[in-house]
Chains A and B, each alone.
Chain A
Amino acid sequence: LNGGAVPSAPPTYT
């Protein structure tokens, strides 16, 4: 397994 971290981003900027 060589997946690395799952990309993630802050909730939509409002």
Chain B
Amino acid sequence: MAVVNEGALKKMLKQYKYRDLTVREITNVISQYKDLKPVMDAYVFNDGSSRDLMSLTGTIPISYRGNVYNIPVCLWLLDTYPFNPPICFVKPTSAMMIKTGKHIDANGKIYLPYLHEWKHPQSDLYGLIQVMIVVFGEEPPVFSRPTIAAPLPSLPS
């Protein structure tokens, strides 16, 4: 569970243009989804430039065919958040593989109408995560890798 107070978040987000709005949303989301935590890290843009940005990193719980899975995700917030949508990825562990599809590309980037049609204040992180949970519950973005590295059991003769 992430233990980050509002003062620490404000300090981390000092270059964010709408810092108070952003802090409020993050505080709200991490209180509801306790397996997500705010992390500052370098985000590399398509043109190769990089920038220190806040992400919410961790897992979101989905229910798929009656079982709960904790899907690893990273939601990057631009410094213009919430007036631009987050940039969202699934982050498969070494035991997982990405299942590309309508909502996921080979890099794990997440595409959703909710992100495409993002508009503050109707859109927010909490709503986004709820949409992800529904969409991923129908079409999981990652699956477990087959354990091909394990030695084959010898067959009984």
Chain A residues within 8 Å of B, Cβ to Cβ = 2, 4-13
**Cα A13 to Cα B100 with chains together (Å):** 12
Contact flags (1/0) for B24-65 with A, using CB distance below 8 Å?
000000000011110000000000000000000011010011
**Do A8 and B99 have beta carbons less than 8 Å apart?**
no
Stretch at the interface among B69-77, B115-123, B125-133: B69-77
Task: Please tell me the size bucket of the interface on B.
Answer: 20 to 34
User: Does B1 make an interface contact (CB < 8 A)?
Assistant: yes
- Chain B 94-132: CB-based contact to A (< 8 A → 1; otherwise 0): 011001000000000000000000000000000000000
Task: Please report whether the interface of chain A is mostly helix, strand, loop or mixed according to DSSP.
Answer: loop
